[in-house]
Structure 1
Amino acid sequence: MNSFLKKALVVSAISFAPVAFAADMTGAGATFPYPIYAKWAEAYKAKTGSNLNYQSIGSSGGIKQIKAKTVDFGATDNPVKFEDLEKDGMVQFPAIIGGVVPVMNVDGVKPGELKLDGPTLADIFQGVISDWGDKRIALMNPGVKIPSGPITVVHRADGSGTTAIFTDYLAKTSTLWKDAVGAGASVKWPAASSVGGKGNEGVAANVSRVKNSVGYVEYAYAKKNKMTHISLKNKDGNYVQPDDATFAAAAAGTDWSKIPGMGTFITNASGAKSWPITGASFILLYKNPDNKANAAEVMKFFDFGFKEGKNMALELDYVPMPDVTTDFIRKNVFSKVVTK
């Protein structure tokens, strides 16, 4: 073997050595946190060489995949009940906080210019209010020029934690919605004119495409697609705009350590600055995983996000979990996962 070939083989071995020992984690589920998980994954791979393959397929899909043990972790915005976690031998923890925002495609209306309260928003999605020229909308928005036009409701076609957060809010603020539709990852959408979209991506695309439409997406998708969001009246009676500060205000009163399984909705929270459709996204892991090395890497990945991913989260208008909560997760959740 000539010296040139020997040198080439040595260089090749060095180049690929880190990759050979790097873990290739797999996860699936919620589209709500996908933008921040993608950003964390890029930074984590650059630092450690470990790759995350995350399928943004919706919360219901993520729960199905972790139960089938086809992924290392599942992700859901619709938290699993504590008794179900215990039955299935899993743990759950919140990884990130964000906001769901109603978005619209109506000519001449600027982002955040239109104001609505919960009952009116519920009536729009229920089809009780079916035209943008409705007097209830006009009375709530003096001075705002809203052209009349039949409203098309855009909703999730897949089982969705974003839908669970959104419908939980509507059910808390509208008795009519609660009694007729209810809340959950999948509901029967009653509006006569409605279109389904897969994932936050699909809803954003349909709202952008369909004139006079209204939908709901995680705020990062609204920003990325330069969509027109709607300002909402919160529980304290104030109209607020969505951003990381109003999401943080809504989550401020939540003591995650006191909640069995850490699973809860934080919609319609009290607080002068609280965004009313705020929610957390959760991670599901088996206590005794089949692939223990990958489970260990998953926890390292989210710990990286907790410690070094805060600014990345804020750049996308997510809210990092508070340090007191991440300390609790390390001591009381990660400690339950067998990795050896």
Structure 2
Amino acid sequence: MGKFKSLIPSALGGLLFLSAGLTGCGNKSTSSVSAPSVDPNQIVMLKGSGATFPAPLYQKWIQEYSSTDDKKNIRISYDSVGSGAGVKNFLAQEGDFGASDAPLRDDERQKFPENRGKPIQIPMTGGLLVFAYNLANYEGLDDIRLSRNTYCGIVTGKITKWNDPAIAADNPDVRLPDIPLLFVHRSDGSGTTFIFTSHIEAVCPDWKAGSGKEVEWPIGIPAPGNEGVSTQIQQTAGAIGYIEYSYSKDKNLQTAVLENKSGNFIKPSPENASKAFVGQTVPDDFALVIPDTESPDAYPIVGLTWLLLYTNYDDPSKAEVVKNFVQWSLVEGDESASTLGYLPIPDDLQEKVITTLNQSL
């Protein structure tokens, strides 16, 4: 299992991830989640949309959840459209749930339809963003190192060639090609962009675009979704861009080793990303954001991703299935999360989430 699973919170309500147990995996609950209490002859259909960051995992969970004989009457679909569109669809009641890598803003909460109660944002998994790049035609250029000053120069447009002196200084033992460096970014409203720009805003003094699901990029090639950005990088020699870790693994893209706040160069991996959550307190609304981890051994660009739920569902069967699917995903779906390179939610935070669901739905 992913190391995030092994970080055990200290209490419910303001959960603190502790440093104990980092060398081992957390204990998986031996109890299974029973099927939802709905009429097995009733077809229950759930539709959701949103973040591309967790889409491979959500699709895997949906397939596994719906495949058992006791859930043959349940149909769940998820449209990977980006966090921005997912939040808009959720607020417009165009579906039964939304998904976002950015917690709901106050102005978004104010638009929440009164007939649906209060919005609930549930953390489903953690993950990491990578600088993926395409120098596949050149030997010895896997695991390029990028200092903070260097990747700030890339996103602000100051660095435009792969043999720029800043990149060369980070990688003194390799021969860098004299070719254009082409930065690829998201074209759509994106929680991945929120995580990325929250980090860039915290790290890069010359960054002027702020942070959010959408920003005015000073340079770059736009592409939709993690799918689009990873494909653009794969098809473009000299390209570099930010994507969720599992997309880089799926397309076998090269990824950069990044300097963290402590000056250490850290390879992107779920294990190194999980260390960023050590010592972090999860607020009661689960809206934990970590722009720049203090952990000296942690990979620096990480985040959570949330499902967005209504308090009130017109159909009680939908409310029951939503609650059951979330619980099953957290408790039974952790192995799939780890396999795909995500960070499973710790047991005590699972309990807090399930308590919130039982009290709210």
TM over 0.5: yes
The corresponding residue for 2:17 is none
User: SS state of the match for residue 306, structure 2?
Assistant: strand
Distance 1:83 1:293 in 2: 30
Tell whether the 8 Å contact from 2:141 to 2:174 is kept in structure 1 after alignment: no
Distance 1:291 1:109 in 2: 58
The corresponding residue for 1:188 is 216
Query: 145-154 or 132-141: which moved more?
Result: 145-154
Q: Which amino acid aligns with 2:46?
A: M
Distance 2:337 2:273 in 1: 12
Q: Which amino acid aligns with 1:286?
A: Y
Q: State the percentage of identical aligned residues.
A: 32
Compare the two structures and name the one with the higher helix fraction: 1
The corresponding residue for 1:14 is none
Q: How far off is 1:335 after superposition? A: 3.0
Tell whether the 8 Å contact from 1:82 to 1:261 is kept in structure 2 after alignment: no
Classify 1:167/1:111 alpha carbon distance in 2 versus 1 (closer, same or farther; 3 Å).
Answer: farther
Distance 2:85 2:141 in 1: 32
Classify 1:87/1:326 alpha carbon distance in 2 versus 1 (closer, same or farther; 3 Å).
Answer: farther
Q: How far off is 1:143 after superposition? A: 0.5
Structure 2 unaligned runs (5+)?
1-38, 113-117
The corresponding residue for 2:60 is 39
Distance 2:341 2:223 in 1: 23
**Higher gyration radius (CA):** 1
2:92 corresponds to 1:94: no
Q: Matches of residues 105-144 of structure 1 in structure 2 within 5 Å?
A: 105-106=134-135, 107-108=137-138, 112-144=142-174
User: SS state of the match for residue 185, structure 1?
Assistant: coil
Classify 1:147/1:321 alpha carbon distance in 2 versus 1 (closer, same or farther; 3 Å).
Answer: same
Q: How far off is 1:19 after superposition? A: 7.4
Q: How far off is 1:119 after superposition? A: 2.9
The one of 86, 91, 96 aligned to 1:67:
91
Aligned CA-pair RMSD = 1.8
User: SS state of the match for residue 327, structure 1?
Assistant: helix
Classify 1:313/1:173 alpha carbon distance in 2 versus 1 (closer, same or farther; 3 Å).
Answer: same
Tell whether the 8 Å contact from 2:184 to 2:221 is kept in structure 1 after alignment: yes
The one of 267, 286, 294 aligned to 1:270:
294
2:236 corresponds to 1:215: no
Classify 1:111/1:81 alpha carbon distance in 2 versus 1 (closer, same or farther; 3 Å).
Answer: farther
Higher RCO by CA contacts (8 Å cutoff, separation 6 or greater): 2
Q: Which amino acid aligns with 2:320?
A: A
User: SS state of the match for residue 293, structure 1?
Assistant: helix
Q: How far off is 1:296 after superposition? A: 2.3
Query: 160-169 or 105-114: which moved more?
Result: 105-114
The corresponding residue for 2:182 is 152
Distance 2:109 2:201 in 1: 25
Tell whether the 8 Å contact from 2:91 to 2:111 is kept in structure 1 after alignment: no
User: SS state of the match for residue 285, structure 2?
Assistant: helix
Distance 2:141 2:341 in 1: 16
The corresponding residue for 2:44 is 23
Distance 2:191 2:272 in 1: 20
Q: How far off is 1:75 after superposition? A: 0.2
The one of 335, 339, 346 aligned to 1:311:
335
User: SS state of the match for residue 67, structure 2?
Assistant: helix
Q: Which amino acid aligns with 1:247?
A: A
Q: Which amino acid aligns with 1:156?
A: R
Q: How far off is 1:81 after superposition? A: 3.1
Tell whether the 8 Å contact from 2:156 to 2:206 is kept in structure 1 after alignment: no
The one of 195, 204, 223 aligned to 1:197:
223
Q: Which amino acid aligns with 1:160?
A: S
Query: 73-82 or 317-326: which moved more?
Result: 73-82
The one of 132, 136, 139 aligned to 1:103:
132
User: SS state of the match for residue 350, structure 2?
Assistant: helix
Structure 1 unaligned runs (5+)?
1-17
Q: Matches of residues 207-286 of structure 1 in structure 2 within 5 Å?
A: 207-256=233-282, 259-286=283-310
User: SS state of the match for residue 293, structure 2?
Assistant: coil
Distance 2:140 2:184 in 1: 19
Q: Which amino acid aligns with 1:334?
A: L
Q: How far off is 1:112 after superposition? A: 5.0
Distance 1:190 1:336 in 2: 45
Distance 2:107 2:94 in 1: 22
TM-score, normalisation: structure 2: 0.83
Tell whether the 8 Å contact from 1:104 to 1:227 is kept in structure 2 after alignment: yes
Q: How far off is 1:94 after superposition? A: 0.8
Q: Which amino acid aligns with 1:25?
A: L
Classify 1:138/1:28 alpha carbon distance in 2 versus 1 (closer, same or farther; 3 Å).
Answer: same
Q: Which amino acid aligns with 1:101?
A: V
User: SS state of the match for residue 217, structure 1?
Assistant: strand
The corresponding residue for 1:169 is 199
**Deviations for 1:83-125, whole angstroms, at most 9, x for unmatched residues?**
7547622111211101110111123265752111233212102
Tell whether the 8 Å contact from 1:59 to 1:75 is kept in structure 2 after alignment: yes
Classify 1:83/1:330 alpha carbon distance in 2 versus 1 (closer, same or farther; 3 Å).
Answer: farther
Q: How far off is 1:64 after superposition? A: 0.5
